[in-house]
Each structure stands twice: as C-alpha cells, then as structure tokens.
C-alpha cells in the first residue's frame, strides 16, 4: 500500500464474550459486503461450543461469508468439525488445523 492510499474501510460489526469470558467473538464488515467472523477460546484451550454463531471442537475459527451471508471459506485450529447457522460446514475424522473451502 502506498503512503497516499487510505486503508480499506473495515467496520467492526460486533464483539462479545460468552461463557463467562472464556469464548470471544469478533465480526468485521468488509467494504464489498463480505463479513469476517472470528471466534477463539481463552488460551486456545476450551472448544468453541456456544453456538454464537459456531459450534466446533476447535479453539479458533475464522469464517468469511459472502455479501449474501453464505459461507465462502474458513480456517479452523484443532477442530474436526464446524457448524454454522445450524449447518455442518465440514467434518473430519481427526482434529486438525487448516483452511476449509466451501
């Protein structure tokens, strides 16, 4: 990025802590209408299982949804499945870290 360019207009769409502060959530709206949703657990130890908006046995999730709210891609740390908005987006036999494309 050149010094004369301004950064992209990302806008925080919300943040919250659940589970007495052990799970953390952040959503960012991108200028083109997509949204990044991130959730992580304290010390990356307990699973993200509060359903807001994820359910997984992983400890960190990043999900990008398109401008229509449909999942586009995700990154999960130490997870074998990911559910979002009542739908199973992926399921593996073993826990792993990696990019998931839909």
State if pTM tops 0.85. Answer: no
Residue range 2-12: average pLDDT?
Answer: 69
Q: Where do the domains of the chain lie?
A: 11-94
- Is residue 37 over pLDDT 80? yes
Residue range 8-19: average pLDDT?
Answer: 73
Label residue 21 by pLDDT band (50, 70, 90). Answer: confident
User: Which of 17-21, 62-66, 88-92 is the least confident region?
Assistant: 17-21
Contact 51, 25 (CB under 8 A): no
- CA torsion sign, 29 to 35 to 36 to 38? positive
């Amino acid at each position: 990025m050149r010094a004369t360019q301004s950064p992209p207009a990302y806008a925080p769409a919300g943040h919250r802590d659940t589970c007495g502060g052990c799970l953390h959530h952040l959503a960012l709206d991108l200028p083109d209408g997509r949204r990044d949703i991130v959730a992580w657990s304290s010390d990356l130890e307990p699973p993200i299982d509060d359903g807001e908006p994820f359910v997984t046995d992983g400890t960190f999730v990043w999900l990008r949804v398109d401008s229509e709210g449909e999942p586009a891609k995700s990154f999960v740390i130490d997870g074998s499945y990911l559910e979002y908005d009542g739908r199973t987006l992926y399921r593996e036999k073993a826990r792993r870290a990696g990019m998931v494309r839909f």
